[in-house]
Amino acid sequence: MAMITGVWVPLVTPFKDGAVDLGSYRRLIEYYIGQGVSGLFPLGTTGEAPTLDDGEADAIVAETVEAVAGRVPIFVGIGGNATAKVIKTIKRLGRHEFPGIVSVCPYYNRPTQAGMREHFTAIAEATARQILIYNVSYRTSVNLTNETLLRLAELPNVVGVKDSWGSISQSLDLLAT
């Protein structure tokens, strides 16, 4: 199991002439590992994942796994507002060796807490990989409450939250639990 401690970097996806620039991407990976990061997050929203096609996303994951070569853990951004699509992507990328995924709360369709619980439960049941839930309400228009998160944390492969909700009191309440 990968330890989620220290500094993890969400990787940007460089482009050159309208195409993903894998050479520059590899240099970014080497730079961050050389600086002592603890782990990497490719294909997050910082990495333009929502705008990449399947082939580009596959190339990013393959390049990340090859360049990292086991030196730090990789949690790939695999999220969306359509549960079946997220699961399909998890299965498509399953041939690559990485310990976990970062999955954003469903955006646009503004699910209820029960809907988010169902979404993340289905994802957890579809993979043995570790799952870090990304709560970023200013982008998704929904906040995953601590109550829902704690219920999801009962699933064996839900290992944490990337909390960008913006509420210190909610974060402190979670830490006090």
Q: Which residues are catalytic?
A: 134, 162
Alpha-carbon distance of 8 to 177, in angstroms, equals: 24
CA 130 vs. chain centroid, Å, equals 10
| DSSP state at residue 12 | P
Measured CA to CA, the distance from residue 155 to residue 159 in angstroms comes to: 8
Beta strands in 70-127, from DSSP E residues, in sequence order? 75-77, 100-104
